[in-house]
Structure 1
Amino acid sequence: MHVVLLQMRLLLPSRTLKEKRAIVKSVLSRSRNRFNVACSESALHDQPADAELCFVTVAASPMRARQLLQELESWLVSERPDVEITDVQLEEL
């Protein structure tokens, strides 16, 4: 079994923490449902316009795990054009 982590830093179109929370909750829950990944907001909790999200998956091969997380990243770009991805790190644990 291989565990792969995708860490993304996002620039959000929010001005308040309440707006940020709505966007982050939506992205996380839809990601869980669509890709069956574990995910959470890992940093930048008190900054309304920035978020750092982590997504983790387990697969039989590292290539399949990486492919799934890359699909998730592409899905986020197409699904939420208002959210800008500013940094991406993909690593096998």
Structure 2
Amino acid sequence: MFVGSLRARLLLRASRTLKDKRQVVRSILDRLRNSFNVAAAEVDTLDDVKVVTLGIAAVGPEHAGVKGVLQEIAEALRAHPVAEYLDGEIEVGR
């Protein structure tokens, strides 16, 4: 069994309040959970209205499969129309 994680930082330029941020974050998290069958949560920068830090976890039988899913998620986040992808870090291990 392999466990992988993606820590992604996003910038919300149009966000003015925490309510604006939470609405976008909730939408992103729901989409990730439903589309990729992963666990996802906002893990840092909770009080910053412009920056979102997401933690995404995936589990699978093969290293390549877990890493591939996390890379797909990173690409989906890069293509998000509202949030600008700043950076991400993928780790996969046993």
Smaller-chain TM-score bracket: over 0.9
> Offset of 1:83 from its aligned partner?
1.0
- Quote the residue 1:19 is aligned against: 20
Deviations 1:62-89 (A, max 9, x none): 11001001111112222x2221111110
Q: State how far apart, in whole Å, the 1-side matches of 2:77 and 2:25 are.
A: 12
SS of the counterpart of 2:90?
strand
- Quote the residue 1:6 is aligned against: 6
Q: State how far apart, in whole Å, the 1-side matches of 2:77 and 2:85 are.
A: 9
Q: State how far apart, in whole Å, the 2-side matches of 1:9 and 1:72 are.
A: 13
Counterpart residue type for residue 82 of structure 1: V
TM-score by length of 2: 0.92
Counterpart residue type for residue 70 of structure 2: L
Which shifted more, 80-89 or 26-35?
Answer: 80-89
Q: How many residues align?
A: 92
> Offset of 1:92 from its aligned partner?
1.7
TM-score by length of 1: 0.93
Deviations 1:22-43 (A, max 9, x none): 0000000110000000000000
The CA RMSD over aligned residues, in Å, is 1.0
Gaps of 5+ in 2: none
SS of the counterpart of 2:88?
strand
Alignment of 1:6-85 (within 5 A): 6-12=6-12, 13-78=14-79, 80-85=80-85
Give every structure 1 segment of 4 or more consecutive aligned residues whose post-TM-superposition deviation is greater than 6 Å. Answer: none
Q: State how far apart, in whole Å, the 1-side matches of 2:59 and 2:38 are.
A: 8
